[in-house]
Amino acid sequence: MKKLSARLAESGKKAYVIPRGGSNSVAAWSYIAAWEEMMNQPLFAEITDIVVVSGSGGTGVDLALAN
């Protein structure tokens, strides 16, 4: 991915390399924003569980952090 990003940069393009699982500060802040959006939903107080898929664990960690 780094090599492809470098080749694109040579041609004047900018690529954003997403790390495995999206586990980075961009993902963490995105889940925090998503959590805030969910909190503003009318039925949020009635939610008892949130189910997500997991590969690297980043989604679960980010949602726990957001909570």
What pLDDT is attached to residue 21?
67
Angle at 41 between CA 37 and CA 47, to 5 degrees: 105
Token pair 């004047």 in the structure block, residue: 12
Characterize 41-55 residue by residue with b for buried, 16 or more Cβ atoms within 10 angstroms of its Cβ, and e for exposed: eeeeeeeeeeeeeee
CA atoms of 20 and 13, how far apart (whole Å): 22
- At 6, is the pLDDT very low, low, confident or very high (cuts 50, 70, 90)? very high
CA atoms of 26 and 13, how far apart (whole Å): 21
Summarised one tens digit per residue, pLDDT across range 17-57 is 877 766 788 888 999 999 999 999 999 999 999 898 888 88
CA atoms of 56 and 67, how far apart (whole Å): 19
Record the pTM.
Answer: 0.66
What pLDDT is attached to residue 43?
94
